[in-house]
Amino acid sequence: MDLPLDIDTVKGFLDPAEGRALQQAAIATAALGPALEIGAYCGKSAVYIGAACKQAGSMLFSLDHHRGSEENQPGWEYHDPELWDEDAGALDTLPHLRRTLRRAGLEEVVTPIVGRSADVARVWGARLGLLFIDGGHTMGAALGDYRGWTPHLAQGGVLAIHDVFPDPADGGRPPFEIYQRALASDLFEETLAVKSLRLLRRL
Ligand code: MG
> pLDDT (tens digit, 9 = 90+) per residue, 89-132?
999 999 999 999 999 999 999 999 999 999 999 999 999 999 99
> pLDDT (tens digit, 9 = 90+) per residue, 8-39?
999 999 999 999 999 999 999 999 999 999 99
pLDDT at 1 over 90: no
Contacts of residue 40, Cβ cutoff 8 Å, sequence gap at least 6: 46, 62, 63, 64, 66, 93, 97, 112
Q: Give me the active site residues, please.
A: 137
Ligand 1 geometric centre to CA of 30 (Å): 22
Contacts of residue 5, Cβ cutoff 8 Å, sequence gap at least 6: 47, 100, 103, 104
Using 50, 70 and 90 to split pLDDT, how confident is the model at 171? Answer: confident
Burial label for 140, CB within 10 Å (0-12, 13-18, 19+), is: exposed
Ligand 1 geometric centre to CA of 91 (Å): 17
Ligand 1 geometric centre to CA of 133 (Å): 8
> pLDDT (tens digit, 9 = 90+) per residue, 34-69?
999 999 999 999 999 999 999 999 999 999 999 999
Ligand 1 geometric centre to CA of 106 (Å): 21
- Looking at 94-165, list the stretches that DSSP marks H as alpha helix, in order from N- to C-terminal side: 94-104, 117-123, 139-149
State pTM to two decimals. Answer: 0.97
Ligand 1 geometric centre to CA of 149 (Å): 17
